């Protein structure tokens, strides 16, 4: 994809981001419930309340607030969190790496398992292996992430305590890191024991997130592969004398990738969206988890901040998917 197209894509994202900002703003303000009231200790005077309200800009008219809000957003000022008393942007960026690592591990897991299942089902098409893969897919697709998370908790908390079911790492060990990218840092520094522990905590949340995507990828890729395998050029490859394995992986797979990317792209976005719930269930300290606290406290600036960051993530992910598509498609490469 040329830089010009990339730029155009990013610019097109602006109106969508604007829409997101509007929706969040509206949702939070057109509703009953006074965040200031929730923060005030009982003995505060009305003047204190008014002053607090003023400092958050909540005393102005809705339209005025909106304009202020937009202005601040554009400058990168997301305001200060009402409940945590810190700069929203800092808070969000502080927790973002955790969510990114979780999403990354989940996506990697999805792609490798999905591909493996699809390739196996196609290579041994018509056998019991394909039936098993189809069965796994149907079940994985039908059960939403939330329930998978519950099932995993049941399995690993009670039946087989193999993985921890909450948190990211033992809080004591957290101080050993300089960045918030714990997993990345531990690998780069070669501390594999630490990395393994981190992965242990990531395992269950990542699996919960990955299962639906694995099923989607496996199903779509298998169907794509089977369509490709009956094409003339595969016949020619066979006549050239290549082994079945090579034909599947070298000749067929690249052709099956394109429709697969188109059809599964949106599910990657769902996966990232699913981190919101999964982080809560497994008490994993990412931005999804932070959203819940913010929601319980009616912390408007923080809710806004997290929502906008998520929207941005989705848009970037969308662009990444389009770029991958353009890269794989030889017709678009020149």
Under the binding rule (CB under 8 A), the answer on residue 276 touching other proteins is yes
Under the binding rule (CB under 8 A), the answer on residue 204 touching other proteins is no
Q: Which stretch binds other proteins (CB under 8 A): 36-44, 84-92, 193-201, 236-244?
A: 236-244
Instruction: Please tell me the distance from the alpha carbon of residue 331 to that of residue 334, in angstroms, as a whole number.
Output: 7
Under the binding rule (CB under 8 A), the answer on residue 167 touching other proteins is no
Residue 57 vs 273, nearer CB to other proteins: 273
Under the binding rule (CB under 8 A), the answer on residue 280 touching other proteins is yes
Burial of 5 (C-beta count, 10 Å sphere; 0-12/13-18/19+): middle
Q: Which of 238, 319, 324, 326 binds other proteins (CB under 8 A)?
A: 238
Helices (H), the chain: 3-29, 35-39, 46-55, 62-74, 88-123, 128-142, 145-153, 182-188, 192-229, 232-240, 244-246, 253-281, 287-296, 300-328, 330-333
Q: Which of 37, 147, 176, 327 binds other proteins (CB under 8 A)?
A: 147
Residue recorded with tokens 């697969």:
260
What φ, ψ does residue 20 adopt, rounded to 5°? Answer: -60, -45
Q: How far is CA 187 from the centre of its chain?
A: 22
Q: Which of 4, 11, 31, 160 binds other proteins (CB under 8 A)?
A: 31
Under the binding rule (CB under 8 A), the answer on residue 236 touching other proteins is yes
Under the binding rule (CB under 8 A), the answer on residue 242 touching other proteins is yes
Residue recorded with tokens 């006549």:
239
Q: Which residues bind other proteins (CB under 8 A)?
A: 15-16, 19-20, 22-24, 27-28, 30-33, 126, 142-144, 146-147, 150-151, 153-154, 157-158, 231-233, 235-243, 251, 254-255, 270, 272-277, 280, 288, 291-292, 294-296, 298, 303, 306-307, 310-311, 314-315, 330-331
């Amino acid at each position: 994809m040329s830089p010009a197209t990339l730029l155009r894509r990013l610019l097109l994202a602006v109106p969508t981001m604007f829409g997101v900002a509007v929706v969040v703003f509206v949702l939070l303000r057109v509703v009953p419930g006074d965040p200031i009231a929730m923060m005030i200790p009982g003995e505060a005077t009305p003047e204190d309340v008014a002053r607090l309200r003023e400092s958050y800009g909540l005393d102005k008219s809705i339209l005025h607030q909106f304009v202020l809000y937009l202005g601040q957003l554009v400058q990168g000022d997301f305001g200060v969190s009402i409940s945590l008393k810190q700069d929203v942007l800092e808070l969000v960026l502080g927790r973002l790496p955790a969510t990114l690592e979780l999403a990354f591990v989940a996506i990697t897991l999805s792609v490798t398992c999905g591909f493996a299942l699809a390739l196996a089902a196609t290579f041994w098409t018509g056998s019991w292996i394909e039936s098993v893969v189809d069965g796994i897919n149907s079940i994985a697709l039908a059960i939403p992430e939330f329930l998978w998370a519950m099932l995993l908790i049941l399995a690993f908390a009670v039946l087989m305590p193999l993985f921890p079911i909450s948190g990211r790492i033992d809080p004591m060990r957290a101080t050993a890191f300089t960045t918030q990218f714990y997993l990345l840092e531990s690998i780069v520094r070669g501390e594999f024991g630490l990395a393994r522990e981190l992965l242990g905590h990531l395992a269950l949340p990542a699996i919960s997130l990955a299962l639906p995507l694995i099923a989607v990828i496996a199903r779509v890729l298998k169907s794509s592969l089977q369509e490709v395998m009956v094409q003339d050029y595969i016949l020619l490859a066979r006549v050239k004398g290549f082994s079945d394995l090579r034909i599947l992986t070298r000749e067929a797979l690249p052709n099956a990738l394109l429709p697969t990317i188109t059809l599964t792209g949106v599910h990657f976005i769902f996966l990232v969206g699913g981190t919101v719930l999964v982080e809560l269930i497994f008490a994993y300290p990412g931005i999804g988890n932070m959203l819940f606290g913010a929601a319980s406290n009616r912390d408007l600036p923080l809710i806004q901040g997290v929502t906008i960051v998520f929207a941005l993530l989705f848009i970037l992910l969308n662009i990444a998917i389009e770029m991958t598509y353009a890269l794989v498609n030889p017709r678009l490469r020149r």
